[in-house]
């Protein structure tokens, strides 16, 4: 059951793939859902507001955050690429978001971090939230910065944050790696709901994955959030094996948890 826990909830990155998947789902969590992205993406529907904002624009972000009770932050660059765009959206943008949250008294944020914060751990390892970050690129570095920044804003200002290290959230797993990293859209919504409604969130790092038989991540340090995945990549295993070839164990994309991100670049701005 989804609890309508907030009067007004902000969803950034609303025009992206996960934003589109969550748009209708998150309406059950609030009375009004404020949607934001950098460019126009249509008209507001019932119980919706739309406020466009460039995350690198502090004034625009301040206006975007004003009046909301909690934030689901998906906005920013979502793939590996040149450093400068990632710096603007994911690093400066993260600072602008938390400064606005501090100024306007927002007490809880669900931050879309990424498995690429730990992408240089090997696929034969199982890690938990206490393992040090090992980013696999500029994108992963930006998410590691976001986790540290949100920790600072919790320690100093008491803004609770769930850093959700999203694995691979698609309608179904696309390859063998995603049998370990897959997170269904419904489980993503269940996870966000748990983060928004748990009585005490504090600063929590949670690996975003469904109930997959194969996993590299141990979420036992996040039991206080109360998330229970209900979907599993296992139902897709036979089909994934049938359409994909056996992995080349000498390929870094197979050796490391970050997959192809570990080989991306170098880039020039």
Instruction: Please give the positions annotated as active site.
Output: 139
Please answer whether residues 74 and 13 qualify as being in contact, where contact means their C-beta atoms are separated by less than 8 angstroms: yes
Where would I find the H helices in the chain?
Answer: 17-26, 58-65, 83-86, 93-104, 138-157, 178-181, 185-197, 237-243, 252-255
Residue 203 in tokens? 């600063």
- Cα gap 100→60, rounded to integer Å: 10
Residue 152 DSSP label: H
Give the single-character DSSP code of 132. P
Does residue 162 sit in helix, strand or coil?
strand
Give CA–CA dist 168/115, Å, rounded: 8
Residues found in the chain: 269
Contact criterion met (CB below 8 Å) for 22 and 34: no
Cα-Cα end-to-end distance for the chain: 46
Q: What does the alpha-carbon distance between residue 171 and residue 157 come to, in Å, rounded to a whole number?
A: 37
Cα atoms in the Cβ-side hemisphere of radius 13 Å centred on 149: 21
């Amino acid at each position: 059951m989804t609890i309508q826990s907030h009067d007004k909830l902000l969803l950034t990155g609303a025009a992206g793939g996960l934003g589109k998947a969550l748009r209708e789902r998150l309406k059950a969590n609030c009375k009004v859902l404020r949607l934001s992205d950098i460019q126009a993406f249509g008209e507001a529907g019932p119980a919706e507001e739309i406020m466009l904002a460039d995350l690198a624009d502090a004034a625009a972000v301040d206006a975007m955050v004003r009046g909301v009770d909690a934030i689901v932050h998906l906005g920013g660059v979502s793939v590996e690429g040149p450093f400068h765009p990632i710096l603007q959206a994911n690093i400066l943008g993260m600072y602008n978001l938390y400064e606005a949250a501090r100024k306007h008294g927002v007490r809880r944020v669900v931050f879309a971090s990424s498995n690429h914060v730990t992408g240089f751990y090997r696929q034969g390892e199982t890690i938990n939230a206490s393992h040090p970050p090992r980013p696999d690129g500029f994108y992963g570095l930006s998410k590691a910065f976001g986790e540290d920044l949100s920790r600072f804003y919790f320690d100093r200002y008491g803004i609770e944050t769930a850093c959700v290290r999203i694995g691979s959230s698609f309608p179904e797993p696309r390859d063998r790696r995603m049998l370990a990293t897959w997170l269904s859209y419904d489980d993503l919504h269940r996870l966000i709901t748990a983060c928004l409604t748990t009585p005490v969130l504090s600063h929590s790092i949670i690996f975003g994955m469904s109930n997959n038989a194969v996993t590299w991540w141990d979420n036992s340090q996040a039991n206080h959030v109360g998330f229970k995945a209900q979907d599993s990549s296992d139902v897709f295993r036979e089909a994934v094996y049938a359409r994909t070839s056996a992995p080349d164990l000498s390929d870094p994309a197979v050796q490391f948890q970050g997959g192809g991100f570990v080989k991306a670049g170098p880039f020039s701005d």
